Every structure is written in C-alpha cells, then in structure tokens.
Homo-oligomer: A and B are copies of this chain.
Amino acid sequence: MRRIYLDHSATTPVDLEVATLMMTYYTEKYGNPSSVHGFGREAKQALEEARRQVAELIGATPQEIVFTSGGTEADNLAILGTAEAMRKKGKHLITSAIEHHAVLETFEYLEKNGFELTVIPVDAEGIVSVEDVRKAVRPDTILISVMHANNEVGAIQPIVEIGNLAKELGITFHVDAVQSLGKIPINVKEMNIDLLTVSSHKIYGPKGVGALYIRKGVRIVPLAHGGSQEKRRRSGTENTPGIIGFGKACELIGKRMAEDSKLQTKLRDRLMNGIVERIEYVKVNGPIGEKRLSNNVNVSIRFVEGESLLLSLDMLGIAASSGSACTSGSLDPSHVLLAMGLVHEIAHGSLRFSLGRQNTEEEIDYVLEQLPKIVERLRMMSPLYDQ
C-alpha cells in the first residue's frame, strides 16, 4: 500500500544525515559529556557545537540555550520556572486561548496553586489581538506567554508587537515556537523574546529533545534536581546523540527554510483550494495567506465526524489528524477551534493536513481524488445530512 504522510505538525521523520550522525554518537563517541576523559570531551564538544547551531537558528548566544527532553518540558520549565522565580513580584499570568496543552495546562496548574490567570481570546481566524493583551496587563503581571504559530490552524501571532509591549512594560515574555521553528525566521533579540520553546522532532530531528532559550539575565527556577548539567538549569545526563541530532537538524533547516516554505505553500494552496472546490459545505479554519504557516491545511467538513474521516483516509494509507473529540483522550473537541467560535458539531468534523519536505503534488492529487469519495460515503451514513 502507498503511504502518504501529511501529519508533520505531529512529528517528522528524522533526516537521514541527522540520523547517521546520531548513530556515531550512540555506538562510537558514546562518552558522558561530564566525564574528564577523551570520550567525555568529544561528546562535550559535539554538544556545544549543537548548542551553537540551535542558538544560531534563533539569533541567540549559545549560553542562552538549555536543552530539555522536548517542547513540553521546555514550556513547563519556562512557565513554572518563571512563576517560581517571580512569585514575590506578582501573581498574574497572561496567555492565549489557543496555546498548546503543555502551556495551557501548566498555567491552569498554577491557577489552582495561588496564581491568577487571564486567557486572551482569539478572533475567528485564530489570532490574538495585541490590544487585548495590553488591556489584560496588571501591575502584578509577571509573565506573558503567546505562541508563535498555532499547531492546529497555522495562525501566526503578532509576536513582534507583543514583544514590544512586554519590553515596554518590563514583563517576561515567553513564546512557544515549536511549530514556527524552521518555517518562519525567528530572532529572539529583534523580537524581544525572553523565553522561547523549541522542539526537535518537528524539524526532522529526533523525538525527546527540545530546548528553552533563556535570555541572559532572566532567572528561572529549575524543575528537577540532581547533577549540575546545563549550568544547573536542567539536571540529568544529557541526551547527547539526540541533542547533536537536534543541532544538525537546526543547521539543515536554517539553510532550507526559504525553499521548503515556497514549495509547501504551493502544495498547501493546491490542497486547500482543491478541497473547497470538490466538496460542498466545507469551511477553511485559520487565516488565508501570509498569516498562515506554509504547511498547514485545516478544514471543517460538515455532517461528518473527524475520527471517521481519519480512519477512512488511513485505510488508503493517508495520514492526517483531526480536532475531533473522538481522537483525543479528553473527548472535548479542539479547544482551538472552539476558541475561534466554531460550534461543537463543526469543530468535530475538522481535518488537519500538515505538509513536509517530502510531499509531492502527486500525493496531494491523490488525496484530492479520494477525500470527496470518503466524505460522500460518511455523509450517506450521517443523520445530520439531508441531500
């Protein structure tokens, strides 16, 4: 069976060059970077090279990069670490309604533990308004956290403007850039970002590796205790091969970003327009054009349910994802689509295709050929659909 992978926002394959490099560090240069001997030194050196590569992609200095076990840990470290470090200064936190669970649930945990939280709404396209952020600020606000680009609908947020605001007000600014890294240029200095979350497995690097950029001078209380790795900001033997893979992936995507983006934008529009042309009662979710990630397609297909769509696509070897309640453990449909004002029933029938470097026009055309048939079949089964 052919296999078409259109779920790159969930995770990407590891680049072969990256994987090959990692192999060396698994089986030959396997030293612990904390060790004094040659095995340790060669690992340490490669680790520091990776730190440089990650820093370069986001306009930071290597000393400002702390490696973690992924985006989730980096988000937690940023938010819990700031709250703990600043609790004497204030108790008010600001975030947006469309953040990833790793951000939202961490804030909700803090809210249950004595902090106060304002969740900024979004407009129908899924975009936060800078004015809303400004209005939410209080004298005791210690942290603003807004993602760079949303993982479900690809909506790019006005980070530069929020960064200016945060700087003007002297409030720590955290940005979850897991989905934008390698797709949109990032410069933490120019964007006035204090804390930035990135993750390796969304940019053709290995899973289980991420990093938090911590601007020089910004204090964070660590989550875990133990060894003095990462200048005491993150304990535990470093995942050296993983980190080295992440570094390499950053270097590669830095070079390829412009071209990748051009190609994927073309495929994205072909797919999005194709679906709208071929299927009735379809709504595109998220912004159109410049404000949308180059690899994101998100549509709601009325009268059918998301998991059924996914399963049907899967039987043809097409991998996608959905904001349907039925695909998640929680049984609530996508909080992002609901925040954008979609009713439950329509959010329920949403489908996300996220493109990657290896996708082809031919694959897109195959999806465009198959999807209408699937929708037709499911609609025939649906009590909500009356021809």
**A11-B235 Cα distance, complex, nearest whole Å:** 16
CB–CB B226/A101 < 8 A: yes
CB–CB A72/B19 < 8 A: no
Which residue of chain B lies nearest to A318 when distances are taken between CB atoms in the complex?
B37
Q: A10-B32, A313-B37 are in contact. Are A227 and B102 (CB under 8 A)?
A: yes
Which residue of chain B lies nearest to A79 when distances are taken between CB atoms in the complex?
B225
Measured as residues with beta carbon below 8 angstroms from the partner, the interface class of chain A is: 35 or more
Return the CB mask of A157-200 against B: 1 if under 8 Å, else 0. Answer: 00000000000000000000000000000000000000000010
Say yes or no: is A208 at the interface (Cβ < 8 Å to chain B).
Answer: yes
**A240-B320 Cα distance, complex, nearest whole Å:** 19
Say yes or no: is A100 at the interface (Cβ < 8 Å to chain B).
Answer: yes
Least distance between A30 CB and chain B CB atoms (Å) = 4
CB–CB A241/B206 < 8 A: yes
Q: Which of A22, A28, A228, A236 has the most CB of B within 10 A?
A: A236
Least distance between A212 CB and chain B CB atoms (Å) = 13
Interface residues of A in 18-72 (CB under 8 A from B): 19, 22-23, 26-28, 30-32, 34-40, 68-72
Interface residues of A in 211-243 (CB under 8 A from B): 223-228, 235-242
Residues of B close to A102: CB separation below 8 A: 224-227, 235-236
**A222-B152 Cα distance, complex, nearest whole Å:** 26
Least distance between A220 CB and chain B CB atoms (Å) = 14
Say yes or no: is A359 at the interface (Cβ < 8 Å to chain B).
Answer: no
Q: A224-B72, A242-B208 are in contact. Are A27 and B16 (CB under 8 A)?
A: yes
**A148-B71 Cα distance, complex, nearest whole Å:** 32
Q: A226-B76, A310-B36, A319-B31 are in contact. Are A236 and B10 (CB under 8 A)?
A: no
Q: A209-B208, A224-B223, A236-B69 are in contact. Are A13 and B27 (CB under 8 A)?
A: yes
CB–CB A226/B105 < 8 A: yes
Residues of B close to A101: CB separation below 8 A: 225-228, 235
Pick from B13, B36, B228: contact of A314, CB under 8 Å: B36
CB–CB A227/B14 < 8 A: no
CB–CB B224/A76 < 8 A: yes
Least distance between A231 CB and chain B CB atoms (Å) = 9
CB–CB B76/A225 < 8 A: yes
Which residue of chain B lies nearest to A38 when distances are taken between CB atoms in the complex?
B314
Least distance between A135 CB and chain B CB atoms (Å) = 27
CB–CB A327/B36 < 8 A: yes
CB–CB A207/B7 < 8 A: no
Q: List 20 A-B contacts (CB under 8 A).
A: A10-B31, A11-B237, A12-B30, A19-B27, A36-B314, A36-B327, A37-B310, A38-B314, A69-B70, A70-B237, A71-B237, A100-B226, A102-B224, A106-B225, A106-B226, A207-B239, A207-B240, A207-B241, A208-B239, A228-B330
New A-B pairs, 8, CB < 8 Å, besides A38-B317, A209-B239: A3-B39, A11-B31, A22-B26, A35-B319, A76-B223, A76-B235, A101-B227, A208-B208
- Write the residues of chain A forming the contact surface with B, with a CB cutoff of 8 angstroms: 3, 5, 7, 10-14, 16, 19, 22-23, 26-28, 30-32, 34-40, 68-73, 75-76, 100-103, 105-106, 108-109, 199, 201, 206-209, 223-228, 235-242, 307, 310-311, 313-314, 317-322, 327-330
